[in-house]
């Protein structure tokens, strides 16, 4: 049995590995959007074909997230993460050999399926290793690796693409994932033991008998954050997929300039994501009402982000547009830790993998719609300006659902329940 000191030391190793793994996860995910102008020119793709490639990744990611959530609870989150990162890293490297539109679609689908297990498995493992009161901060710290991956990806991928070609960039990023798997295998505490035995979660409780898993996602404290996450995912997917192309097509930046300046929004997002977890935990404790504190950390940032997003296509200079997009992304990420912190308050860690998988499935349905709807708006529905307005309206809808649906009655931490 682990004592408290051992668990604390092990927790920092887990948090560090999840941080770097999230960085690689988002670096892998962002690379296609960053290289999209070069890939489109090389393969002679239309905007709709490019949008289909973006959406096929999201469709495979969405469908596979259900299996990833189930496997996190039943196979083991630690083992699943090693398998998933190995698979998607190999597929990422295979993008270097793509011959045309057909092979590109196959690889995008496989890549989306491989990446889908990361979030439910990581959130499951995190819920086992940290308490509810500190879950927001821990979630924010580990998940900050994701936007930092986007920040690192811009200059790194841009320079490699300019001097070595876009195919070499895929090979390098794929190799980084395989190196992470090696570190995960060698450094993770308690190799070969069951996840729960290693984590020694002090908050594990008997499952609530007779409560169907699908009923949990219908709870307001689960359903509403899932809707908000869905709305934020729409905007994030829009940013990853089309904002680089927007800077090239509408703001007249070169491929290298676009790759360099695309770092700016990701830096702000990383800082906001780390801060958002601490703000969420602080308000939950300070107000004496965890649900109210976490609810405010969702509604206020999303509302403000929507206002900033409306202004992006209307300002005259590229610098102002990038700055406003950075504000939008930072505010959206500020709210992110609270989506899952609300769920942990309501249902506890026991089935966090499955519930996270369901939330990610629901939210990433927006990831399927976002690139195709944006492509339609660019070609036939009012251009990039209309696409920005739609994304802003989606964010406002997410804030409204959380504001109306999540109850905040009562004081103190809600009694922990787990879903059987």
Q: What is the pTM of this model?
A: 0.70
What's the pLDDT score for residue 141? 82
CATH value at residue 151: 1.20.1250.20
Q: Identify the H or E element spanning 219.
A: none
Query: Residue 412 domain-assigned?
Result: no
Total number of domains in the chain: 1
Q: Return the structure tokens found at 227.
A: 């809707």
Residue 247: the pLDDT is 87
Instruction: Tell me what pLDDT residue 3 has.
Output: 46
Q: How far does Cα 130 stand from its chain's mean position?
A: 20
Decide: 4 and 12 in contact? Cβ < 8 Å.
no
Which tokens is 256 given? 């290298």
What is the per-residue pLDDT for 350?
Answer: 65
| Domain assignment present for 420 | no
Note whether residue 71 is domain-resident. yes
Separation between Cα atoms, residue 39 and residue 346, nearest integer Å: 45
Decide if 415 is inside a domain: no
25 in a structural domain? yes
List the domain range (segments joined by +) for residue 324.
4-190+199-405
Tokens of 45: 């793709």
Mean pLDDT (10-residue bins), the chain, 420 residues? 48 85 84 84 85 84 83 82 93 91 92 88 81 80 78 77 87 92 83 48 39 69 88 88 84 78 80 87 87 90 94 89 91 89 75 77 80 87 88 94 79 37
Distance CA 344, CA 76 (A): 19
Residue 101, domain member (yes or no): yes
Alpha helices in 250-351 (DSSP H): 255-261, 263-286, 290-311, 318-347
148 inside domain: yes
Backbone phi, then psi, for 414, in 5-degree steps? -65, 145
Q: Is 206 domain-assigned?
A: yes
Residue 194: the pLDDT is 47
């Amino acid at each position: 049995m682990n004592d408290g000191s051992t668990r604390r030391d092990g927790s920092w190793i887990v948090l560090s590995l999840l941080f770097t793994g999230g960085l690689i996860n988002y670096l892998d995910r962002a690379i296609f959007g960053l290289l999209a102008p070069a890939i489109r020119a090389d393969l002679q793709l239309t905007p709709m074909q490019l949008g289909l490639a973006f959406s096929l990744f999201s469709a495979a990611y969405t469908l596979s997230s259900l299996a990833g959530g189930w496997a996190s609870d039943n196979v083991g989150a630690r083992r699943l993460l090693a398998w998933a990162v190995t698979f998607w890293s190999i597929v990422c490297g295979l993008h270097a050999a793509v011959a045309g539109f057909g092979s590109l679609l196959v690889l995008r689908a496989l890549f989306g399926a491989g990446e889908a297990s990361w979030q439910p498995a990581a959130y499951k493992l995190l819920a086992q290793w940290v308490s509810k009161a500190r879950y927001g901060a821990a979630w924010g710290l580990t998940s900050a690796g994701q936007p930092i991956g986007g920040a690192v990806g811009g200059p790194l991928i841009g320079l490699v693409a300019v001097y070595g070609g876009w195919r070499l960039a895929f090979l390098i990023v794929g190799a980084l994932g395989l190196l992470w798997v090696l570190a995960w295998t060698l450094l993770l505490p308690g190799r070969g033991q069951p996840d729960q035995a290693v984590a020694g979660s002090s908050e594990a409780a008997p499952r609530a008998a007779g409560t169907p898993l699908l009923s949990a996602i219908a709870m307001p404290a689960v359903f509403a954050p899932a809707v908000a996450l869905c709305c934020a995912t729409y905007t994030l997917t829009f940013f990853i997929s089309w904002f680089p192309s927007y800077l090239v097509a509408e703001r007249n930046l070169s491929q290298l300039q676009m790759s360099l300046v695309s770092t700016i929004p990701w830096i702000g997002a990383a800082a906001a994501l780390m801060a958002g977890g601490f703000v969420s935990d602080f308000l939950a404790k300070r107000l004496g009402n965890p649900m109210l504190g976490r609810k405010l950390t969702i509604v206020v940032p999303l509302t403000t982000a929507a206002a900033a997003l409306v202004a992006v296509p209307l300002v005259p200079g590229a610098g102002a547009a990038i700055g406003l997009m950075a504000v939008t992304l930072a505010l959206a990420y500020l709210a992110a830790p609270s989506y899952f912190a609300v769920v942990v308050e309501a249902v506890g860690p026991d089935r966090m993998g499955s519930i996270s998988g369901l939330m990610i499935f629901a939210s990433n349905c927006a990831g399927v719609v976002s690139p195709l709807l944006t492509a339609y708006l660019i070609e036939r529905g009012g251009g990039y300006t209309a696409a920005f307005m739609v994304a802003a309206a989606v964010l406002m809808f997410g804030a409204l659902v959380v504001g109306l649906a999540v109850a905040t009655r009562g004081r103190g931490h809600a009694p922990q329940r787990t879903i059987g």
